[in-house]
Every structure is written in C-alpha cells, then in structure tokens.
Amino acid sequence: MTTPPRLFYWAEVLWPSIGGIETFSHALLPRLAARGYDVHVLTGDADGSLPDHEDMDGIVLRRLPLRAAMSRGDPGLLMENLRQVRALKQHIAPDIVHLNFSGPMAFYHLRTAQAAPARTVTTLHGPVSGLRGGAGTLLGDIFDRSDWVVAHSQAVLEDARTVAPAVAGRSSLIHYGVEPPRADPAPATAPHDAPHLLCAGRLVPEKGMDLAVAAFAAILRHFPSARMTMAGDGPEREALERQARSLGVAESIDFIGWVQPGDMPALMARATLVIMPSRWQEPFGLVAVEAALQSKPMLAAAVGGLREAVEDGVTGRLVPGDDAVALAEAAIAMLSDPAALAAMGLRGRDRAQRLFGMDTVVDALDRLYRRIAARG
C-alpha cells in the first residue's frame, strides 16, 4: 500500500468540547493515524484556556484564536493568525487540507491558499441554504476551491447541491461514524411499568427539550413510575426546570448536566427509550446512532438527518417536529408494547453497525483522500 497523503485537518471546535463534530473527530483522527496518516490538526480556542500546542498520541494539534479575532474586530490578531496559518501550512506541506466548514475556517484557508497549495476536502456539518453562496462569498469561494465536498447526511448533501449545483459532480455522502460499545449492550434495567426515558443534547430552544418535558407530563399519566433523564446543559436549563415544576413532573426528571462521551454508553444502557425532539433540521443525529448501538429504540422528530438516523417503524418512531402531543402519543404507544420496543432496538443496532460504524467511515475517507491526492 502506498504511503497515505499528509493530512491537515481543520475544525473550529474540537475535544475537550462536547458535540457532534468533537466526538466524531476524537474517534476519527486516531484511527487515521493508526493507518499511517501523518495527521496535523488546527482548531480554535474560544477562551484561551487550552494549550497552544498539544501532542495527542502522535497527532500534532495547534490552537489559534481564529474566531476571537473576528468577533473582537481585532485586525492585529487577525493578521497574526494569518501569519501563523501560513507558517503552519509551509511547515506541514500537506497533501490534503480537510476543512470542516465554518466561516472562520473558510476565511483563513482561502487567505492562505498559496502558502502551500494542497487539495481541499470540505465537510458540511449542517445546511447552508441560509447562507449567501454566490461568487465572492466565503461559501461560494470555498465551494469553488474545494476538490471534494462531503456531507454527513443526505439532507445536508441535497441542500448543498441546491445552493451550489456545480458541486453535484464532486460531492458525496459520508455519514458520521460512531465507536461501537466495548461490550454487548445490557438489557434495560427498568421494569416495563417504570420506564426510563433519556434525552441528551444541548439545552437550547432548537433541540426541543421543552417538548419532551411537556410530553413527559402526559406519559406519567400512563406510567406513573416513569423517570426521565436530561443529559446536557445550556441556556435553557433553568427554563426547563421551571417548566418541569409548573407541570408537576420535576420530581421525576433528573437534570444531570454534561456527560462525558465515555460515560454515555452506560447511561444509555439504563434507558428504555431515547428521545430526540429537535425543532431544527438536525444535520444528522449522533445521539440516535449511539442509542442504536446500545440496542435502544429512538423516538425522534422527523427533521433533517434524523430521518436517516432512525428508520421509522423499524428502529424507532419519527413524529412531526414541534408537536408535544404527537411525541407523547408515540412514546406511550411504544412503551405499551415492550416486545416490539425490544425488537426495534435490536434492528437498530444491526443497522447502525452496518451503516455508521467507524470502520465504514474511515474506509470511505481513506479512499477519498487517496483519490483526491492522486490527482497531483
């Protein structure tokens, strides 16, 4: 096998922050390094609390205040960032720059493109239809300069091709990958008349956690011993706690804050049903895949990439978005049929292992990198 191309991987936010791209990249990059890739990483640092340089088991990571220079309107810091990015590119001399799209990352990459010309792969982690994508815009220019555009869901891919039809012939779908659990999933420990519901994610309006709280009030009338866990944090936490108190369900909901990715499998193992009630067009839905790998059925809003992560009626249920009544009715129906619920979980695990396993994703990216680098 030929030597893999030298990779310069960019993402605005990475570990130890917790989120979709952070969790995915944290699993992806060591696997690429294990396959012989010389991996260099550039990321931001929101508050300056993390080291500028870090060696992650042979992966060289560099942090710069990329967004901070823009948000502060600091031209001196902006120019210093550009100088350091140019120097990094010249030092690394990458074959492939893999850009996880954001405004700052696109700006710095485009302004330093001549420092060390390399093939560019751009990944979209969300819809771009709300952004200006014509000539002279960051999005338009990065699409023009990208040798390949990757989307993590069919919904995002179709959105990109609508905004920029020219990328249709140089774009493709590569789903997020999720590390499989180290051991076979444990069966749910809660009895069927005392189900344990789990919601995990940022506590922000677009995640729709208030819909889950509202639905839980109805669920409790059918399953008085049910409990719900809210794993995550954010600006809506106080409002959600007030909502739970006003509905009389606060004693049955546990707000536990952020959960480290390594602890999520154990938390999911205790769940009977995992719920994603998102309002916005979720680009994918990693929580849904993590749940499936634990043999847990999903109840989710039929929005964005969740329609791909959950196979309606097979691995879980999809309901209209922004509809607490539909969410409650579906949850009650699912919880009332424990055998069907368990079968959904098993089918979900099989599907997740086939479609969303990390080996599948790393294989796809490896083929893409080599093909793009081979163009010269």
Q: Determine the pLDDT at residue 192.
A: 74
Asked whether residue 84 falls in the same domain as residue 232, the answer is no
Asked whether residue 283 falls in the same domain as residue 301, the answer is yes
* Alpha-carbon distances of 52 from 7, 37, 76, 197, 280, rounded to whole Å: 19, 22, 18, 40, 34
CB 335 within 8 A of CB 272: yes
Asked whether residue 152 falls in the same domain as residue 278, the answer is no
Q: What total number of domains does the chain contain?
A: 2
Domain harbouring 153, CATH code: 3.40.50.2000
- Find the helix packing angle between 286-293 and 20-34, rounded to 10°: 60
185: in domain: no
pLDDT band at 1 (very low <50, low <70, confident <90, very high): very low
186: in domain: no
CA distance from start to end of the chain: 18
245: in domain: yes
Asked whether residue 241 falls in the same domain as residue 350, the answer is yes
CB 28 within 8 A of CB 362: yes
Asked whether residue 14 falls in the same domain as residue 146, the answer is yes
Asked whether residue 340 falls in the same domain as residue 256, the answer is yes
Asked whether residue 163 falls in the same domain as residue 208, the answer is no
The pLDDT tens digits for 25-77 are: 888 999 999 999 999 999 987 566 777 888 888 898 999 998 888 888 889 99
Identify the domain containing residue 203 by its residue range: 196-355
Q: What is the mean pLDDT of residues 71-98?
A: 94
Asked whether residue 202 falls in the same domain as residue 304, the answer is yes
Q: Does 314 score more than 90 pLDDT?
A: yes
Q: Determine the pLDDT at residue 138.
A: 85
Q: 0.85 cut: is pTM over it? A: no
Q: Does 322 score more than 80 pLDDT?
A: yes
187: in domain: no
